Chain A
Amino acid sequence: MVPEEERAVSKSRKAKDINVMLVGNPNVGLTTLFNQITGGIAHKSEIGAKEGYAKKHEHINIVELPGQYSLSSYSADDLSNREILLSDFPDVIINVVDTTSIERSLYLTLQLMELEIPMVLALNMMDEVENNEIDIDIIKLSEKLDMPVLPVSASKNRGVHDLLHYAIQVERDKRVPKKLDFCSGHVHNAIHAVLHLVEHHACAVGIPERFAATRLVEGDKKIEEALKLSEADLEIVDHIVEDMEYHMNTDRESAVADMRYDFIEDLTYDVITRPEWSTVEQERSYKIDKILTNKYLAIPIFVGVMGLVFLFTFNLIGERLSQLLGVGIDYLIDLGDAALAGGNASPVLRALLIDGVANGVGAVLSFLPLIAVLFFFLSILEDSGYMSRVAFVMDKLLRKMGLSGQSIVPMLIGFGCSVPAIMATRSLPSKRDRSLTIALIPFMSCSAKLPIYAMFTAAFFTSYKALVLVGVYFTGIIVAVICALIFNRTIYKGPPVPFVMVLPSYRMPATRSVLLRMWENVKGFIKKAFTIIFVATVIIWFLQSFDFGLNLVESSETSILASIGRVAAPVFAPLGFGDWRAATALITGLSAKEAVISTMAVLAAAGPGMSMSAMLSEIFTPLTAYGFLVFTLLYMPCVATLAAVKRELGGWGYALLVVLFQTTVAWIVSFMIFRVGSLFF
C-alpha cells in the first residue's frame, strides 16, 4: 500500500514536467545525446535552448543548452545559459563531459556544482576512451565528486538509458552536490569571508551563496549588480580580494582559475591513467590536418570543398530533384484544375486556387530539394569538425576585415539561412564582432534566394548558368568584404578581436543528426511555403485581380497591385527594371525572399497564355536581370531575419539600420552594374 500522502506527491509529479538540463563544453556531444534521448524531436527550439520530451517518458523535458566552457559572463551564450541555470527552471543537470579531455570539462563541472541543483556527470565518448586504453576509476570519481558518474557513448547509444534513470533518481531525492572544498589557502579564506558577508543578499535574490561568493572573488560585475550589495559591503569584498591578491602575488581571476585546475589535477591524477599523451583520434586528426591545413593546400581545398557543395546542390543532385518535383507539382496542379473545371466551381475561385495559390506556392515548393541538399552538406561540414579548421585557416584574412576566424562559421551557415546564422554568432566572444558579423551575414546568398536565381538563370542565361550563379554569390561576398573594410575603418574601429578556439578532433558526422538538421530546415521551408508564402500569394492574387472599385479586372494592368507597383517603380527605374511587376515582386519579397518568385508566378499566370520566362523577358534584358538578381541578393533581409537581428542585438533601432544600410548598398551596386554594363552590352 502506498500511503495517501506519497500518492498525492507522485500524482503532482506526473502533472509537472521534470526539466533535465544538458550542459557541457562545445563539441562534447550534447546534441547527439539530446537526439538519442528525445528521438530528435524538439518541441521548442529557441535561441539558446532546445527542448524535447524524452522518448516514452513524456513528463521528462530535456533541455539542451549551447556548449560553454565556464559560467563566466563574457560571451552571450554563457550569459544566457547562466540566466537559465540560475532561474528556478532546472530540476536536474546532466553535465556532459568529454572524457578524452576531462580536465577542461571538469572545470565547468566544478562551477555547476556551486549552483545547488541536483546533478549527474555523464562521461561521454567512452568508445574513444576504450580505443585509447584510458583507464578511469569511475567509482572513485563518483565518490570524490559525491554524485552519480555514468559512462556513456552518445554516438553509440550506450549508457543513455541508465544516465536518464540516475538523473531522475537524483531529482527525486533532491540530491544536491555537496559543497566541495576545492579551494585552499588564501583563496579559501577569501571565498569564505565573502560567503559570510553576502549570504543574506544571495538568499534574497535567489542566487546560490557559494556561487555568488566565488564569482565575487573572481570579480564578476554582473553578480555584483544582481546582489545589490551596499557600498560598504563592496568595499569589504574589495578589501578581502586585495588581501588575497597580495598574499598570492597574483590577480583574482588567475588565482581562482588556478585553484580550480589544481583541484582537478589532483582529482584526475587519482582516477585516470592515460598511457599515451594524445589519443588515436587526435593523432588521426593531426594527420588529416597535415593535408587540410597544409601551407599551400589549405585554401585551395577550402575553395574546392565549397565549390563541390554548390556543384552538388545546384547541378548534380538538387537541380535534378527540383525538376522532378516541379513536374510532379505541375501534374498535381493540372489534376486539381481539371477537377475544379469539372466540378462547376466558380471561375473566380478557380482562378484564386490555381493561378494564385497553386502556382505561387508550387513555384516555391519545387525548390525544396535544393535547400535540403545544401543543408545536408553544411551540416556534414560542421559536424565533422572541418568548419573549425576553416576558421583556423582563414583567421588571418578575416582579421584584415576586423573579424576573427570564428566569424566564418556563421557566414557559411548564412548560405543556408540567415536566421540560424545570426543565432550562431552567439558563440563569438565580443559584441563588436557579433554586430559586425550580423551586419554582413545577409550578404551571403541564403537558400531562399536560390529559387529566384534558378528561375532567372533558366530564363536568361541558359548557356552561362553556372557562371552567372557564381557571379551572384561572389558579388555578395565581395560587397560584404568591402563593407567590412569600410566599417573596420569607421564605425567599428578598435583593437583586433581575439581569437581563441578549441579544435575538436575530426569525427564521422552522425547520420542521424545530419538528417535531423536537414529535416528541421526542410520543415521550416515547407511551413513557410504554406503560411507566409500562401498568404502572400492570396493577397497578391487579390490585389492583381481587382481594381480599387473591387471589380474583377480584365488585365492586371489596371489592378490595385499595378497602381502600387507603379508608385514604387520609379525608384527602380535608374536600375533598369522600372516595370511595376518587378517593383511588386521586390516588395512582396520582404515577407520571405521566395515570395519574389511566387509573385512573378501569380502575375504570369494572370496574363493570357503567358509563361513565366516569357513574362520575365518582357520585363528584363539579361543585363537588368543580373542587376535585379544582385538587388534581391543585397537588399533588406526578410522579416524573419530582421526579427533575429533585433533579438540578437536587442533593438529595432539596429534592425532598422540594417534595413537602410542594405537597401542603400543594394541600390548603389545594382545601379553600378546597370550603368557600367550598359557601356558594354
Chain B
Amino acid sequence: MTLDELEIGKRAVIQSVGGEGAIRRRLLDLGLTPYTPVMVRRVAPLGDPIELYVRGYELTLRKSEAKEIEVMSFECSGCGKCYFGMKNRCPGTELANKVEAEHRTHRRRKGEVCGQGTCRRDGSGRGACRVKE
C-alpha cells in the first residue's frame, strides 16, 4: 500500500521511498526513511496536498509524491504512549513489536536473506553482519 491510500488518523510504517532526484533526497533528509512510523493528519481543502505527522513534526506533501512512498499500515490500540520516530514506540501492538524486531536485526540487510543464526550482531542493532551465507 502507498502513503496516499492511508486513511486520515491511521498509522503506518514506511517501507521504501521511491521516486528520484531532488524530491527524493529531500524526503530522505527530512527523515522519511524505512521503518519510520507516519500518520496522515489531514487533507488540504482542495483534496491535495496531505499533511503528515512524522518524527514529531508536521510535513506536507502532494499525493503524487505520497504515491511513491510504500507503507505498511498497522492498528494502534491508541494508548497514546508512543512517540513516532523515537525508539520507545507503541508497546501495545504485535505488529509494532514485529517491526521493531525487524528493525533491530535486519535493518541494514533488508531484502537479503540472512539466517538468524549466522547474523552476528549485537542486540543493539549496531555493527555489521560479518558472516554472509
Q: Measuring CB to CB, which residues of chain A are less than 8 angstroms from any residue of chain B? A: 69-70, 72, 74-75, 100-104, 107, 184-189, 247-250, 253-254, 257-258, 261-262, 265-266, 268-269, 272-279, 282, 285-286, 289, 293-296, 298-299, 392-393, 395-397, 399, 405, 429-430, 496, 498-503, 505
**Residue on A with the closest CB to B28?**
A257
Q: Are B56 and A103 in contact (CB under 8 A)?
A: yes
Docked pose: A15 CA to B65 CA in angstroms: 52
Which of A293, A298, A500 counts the most chain B CB atoms within 10 A?
A: A500
A299 cross-chain contacts in B, Cβ below 8 A: 45
A273 cross-chain contacts in B, Cβ below 8 A: 88
B23 cross-chain contacts in A, Cβ below 8 A: 429, 498, 500
Which of B41, B47, B62 counts the most chain A CB atoms within 10 A?
A: B62
**Residue on B with the closest CB to A189?**
B128
A72 with B25: in contact, given A103-B86, A503-B60 (CB under 8 Å)? yes
Q: Are B65 and A499 in contact (CB under 8 A)?
A: yes
B17 cross-chain contacts in A, Cβ below 8 A: 254
Docked pose: A184 CA to B128 CA in angstroms: 6
Q: Are A294 and B45 in contact (CB under 8 A)?
A: yes
Q: Please tell me if B29 contacts chain A, counting CB pairs below 8 Å.
A: yes
Q: Are A276 and B83 in contact (CB under 8 A)?
A: yes
**Residue on B with the closest CB to A295?**
B45
Q: What's the least CB distance linking B65 to chain A, in Å?
A: 6
Add 8 more A-B contacts to A72-B25, A502-B59, A502-B60 (CB < 8 A): A185-B127, A254-B17, A261-B31, A266-B87, A274-B83, A393-B44, A396-B46, A500-B61
**Residue on B with the closest CB to A106?**
B31
| B-side interface residues, number (CB < 8 Å) | 57
Q: Are B128 and A293 in contact (CB under 8 A)?
A: no
Interface of B is mostly: loop
Q: Are A262 and B44 in contact (CB under 8 A)?
A: no
Q: Are A107 and B29 in contact (CB under 8 A)?
A: yes
Q: Are A69 and B86 in contact (CB under 8 A)?
A: no
Q: Are B53 and A278 in contact (CB under 8 A)?
A: yes
**Residue on B with the closest CB to A505?**
B58
Docked pose: A500 CA to B61 CA in angstroms: 5
**Residue on A with the closest CB to B84?**
A277
Q: Please tell me if B112 contacts chain A, counting CB pairs below 8 Å.
A: yes
Q: Please tell me if B95 contacts chain A, counting CB pairs below 8 Å.
A: no
Q: What's the least CB distance linking B60 to chain A, in Å?
A: 5
Q: Are A429 and B26 in contact (CB under 8 A)?
A: yes
Docked pose: A75 CA to B29 CA in angstroms: 13
**A188, A253, A293: which contacts B24 (Cβ < 8 A)?**
A253
Docked pose: A70 CA to B32 CA in angstroms: 14
A392 with B25: in contact, given A102-B56, A276-B80 (CB under 8 Å)? no
Docked pose: A430 CA to B47 CA in angstroms: 24
Docked pose: A430 CA to B107 CA in angstroms: 32
Q: What's the least CB distance linking A638 to chain B, in Å?
A: 33
Q: What's the least CB distance linking A431 to chain B, in Å?
A: 10
B51 cross-chain contacts in A, Cβ below 8 A: 392, 503
Q: Are B28 and A74 in contact (CB under 8 A)?
A: no
Pairs across A and B, CB under 8 Å, 18 listed: A69-B30, A103-B55, A103-B56, A103-B86, A107-B29, A253-B25, A254-B28, A266-B87, A268-B86, A276-B83, A282-B57, A293-B42, A293-B45, A295-B45, A499-B65, A500-B61, A501-B59, A502-B58
**A296, A397, A500, A505: which contacts B60 (Cβ < 8 A)?**
A500
B27 cross-chain contacts in A, Cβ below 8 A: 500
Q: Are B33 and A254 in contact (CB under 8 A)?
A: yes
**B36, B57, B128: which contacts A101 (Cβ < 8 A)?**
B57
Q: Are B49 and A185 in contact (CB under 8 A)?
A: no
**Residue on B with the closest CB to A286?**
B41
**Residue on B with the closest CB to A256?**
B28
Docked pose: A261 CA to B112 CA in angstroms: 21
Q: Are A282 and B45 in contact (CB under 8 A)?
A: no
Q: Which of B80-130 contact A (CB under 8 A)?
A: 80-88, 107-112, 124-129
Q: What's the least CB distance linking B10 to chain A, in Å?
A: 14
Q: Are A253 and B28 in contact (CB under 8 A)?
A: yes
B82 cross-chain contacts in A, Cβ below 8 A: 277
Docked pose: A293 CA to B60 CA in angstroms: 13
Q: Are A269 and B87 in contact (CB under 8 A)?
A: yes
Q: Are A429 and B22 in contact (CB under 8 A)?
A: yes
**Residue on B with the closest CB to A404?**
B62
Docked pose: A275 CA to B82 CA in angstroms: 8
B1-33, CB under 8 A of A: which get 1 and which 0?
000000000000000110001111111111101
Q: Are B80 and A277 in contact (CB under 8 A)?
A: yes
